[in-house]
Structure 1
Amino acid sequence: MAEQTPAKSPVRPERLAPTPVPPIPDTSSAKGEEIPTIYSHFRTGLSRHRTGLSEHRTDLSEYRTDLSMHRTDLSENRTEMSMRRTGMSIQRTRMSADRTLMSEIRTSLSMISFGFTIYQVFRKLADSGAITSGRAPGNFGGILIVLGMIILIGGIWRHVQFALQLRHLRKEMIDSQLIHGQSAYPVSVALVVAILLLIVGLLALLSIIFNISLFG
């Protein structure tokens, strides 16, 4: 939708300078035939006075009409801006959900990588004979991996649920013409990364449980 240039505010008509009402003529010294003529001139003066007032009232009415139209234009501009702000708010909300999921990904990644590192270190020490058994540290590493995966699963579930609700709300607002819905609503990259990390964590856990080297 094209941007609308706000119209200038209408100019108020100048104030009407007060003019005195024509005085009532004195016909005490007039002759009989002159009295109607005198009153006729008086009525003409009154009519001109009323005409001037009527023209000023007409100017004021036109000014009020222009003001109403100007306010209507301003209201339409405000409505347009509100629709765009609402659409941007939905996008910001989606980005906030992505940032929340990324925080959970960082926490889960730290736990999975640390747990797998503990398992690998103590496994190598046990294989070299430096320690008698690395089972207990390996179990601890597996627990860390499981906890990291639980965080990921919870984060993915919450993110998907929130994203579906937000999409549904956005569609309703578009159908109700509350927002334009011109901007794209792409798939969350954070969600894709979280799913891939969950697969990596599952592979790491399987390598610990079955004592196999899935990562070389």
Structure 2
Amino acid sequence: MAFQRTRMGADRTLMSVIRTSLSLIGFGFTIFQFFDRLRDSHVLAAGSAAPRNFGLALVLLGVGMQAIGIIYHLNFMRELRAERSALAADGLIHGTSRYPVSLTLIVAVLLFMIGLLAITSMIFNIGPFG
């Protein structure tokens, strides 16, 4: 049971990374789009790029945080599986239930890809979010 609780703890940690990076990506994209629309409607001067750059920086920070969270989660789960296999080989544990890929990890990877699409849309003004 301890391994299952540890795995659930790792999933909760990844969920907190998802929550924080989603907030950064969403807030940064909103700031970027808001000031882009103000510039397009000539409310702001055309040379004012600081708010747009700030929005882009938030999205980049969110995507970077998501990538680090995914890598950390994968490394932790690999170590946990190796430790569990070593304990099973030594005969210290007998339960050999599988560790399927977590739904949290799948959502994290999908959010990472959406973040990359948002960055592409913001930089090159193409894609589904433009």
Question: CA offset at residue 137 of structure 1?
Answer: 1.2
Quote how far apart the aligned CAs of 1:194 are: 1.0
Q: Could you tell me how far apart the structure 1 residues matched to 2:98 and 2:126 are?
A: 44
The Cα of 1:193 is off from its aligned counterpart by 1.0
- Name 1:119's counterpart in structure 2: 32
* 1:206 aligned to which of 115, 120, 125: 120
Partner residue in 1 for 2:99:
185
Higher RCO, Cα 8 Å, sep 6+: 2
Aligned length: 129
User: Post-superposition shift, 1:213?
Assistant: 4.5
| Offset at residue 184 of structure 1 (A) | 3.1
- What's 2:55 paired with? 141
User: Does the Cα contact within 8 Å between 2:29 and 2:118 map onto a contact in 1?
Assistant: yes
Stretches of structure 2 lacking an aligned partner (at least 5 in a row): none
Shift in Å, 1:214: 2.1
TM-score (norm 1): 0.57
Matched, 1:132 2:45: yes
Q: Residue 166 in 1 paired to residue 90 in 2?
A: no
Higher mean C-alpha deviation, range 204-213 or range 156-165:
204-213
Deviations 1:52-86 (A, max 9, x none): xxxxxxxxxxxxxxxxxxxxxxxxxxxxxxxxxxx
What is the CA deviation profile of residues 8-67 of structure 1, one whole-angstrom value per residue up to 9, with x for unaligned ones? xxxxxxxxxxxxxxxxxxxxxxxxxxxxxxxxxxxxxxxxxxxxxxxxxxxxxxxxxxxx
CA shift at 1:114, angstroms? 0.3
Aligned to 1:151: 65
Q: Is 1:92 equivalent to 2:24 in the alignment?
A: no
* Aligned residue type for 1:156: I
Larger gyration radius, structure 1 or structure 2 = 1
Q: CA deviation at 1:175?
A: 1.9
2:21/2:65 contact within 8 Å kept: yes
Equivalent residues of 1:105, 1:194 under 8 A apart: yes
Provide Cα deviations, 1:91-143, integer angstroms capped at 9, x if missing partner.
10011011001101100000000000011111111111221235221111100
Deviation at 1:215? 2.4
1:207, 1:92 → 2: CA distance? 40
Q: Which protein is richer in helix relative to its size? A: 2
Question: Contact (CA 8 Å) 2:17, 2:65: kept in 1 or not?
Answer: yes
1:159 partner SS: helix
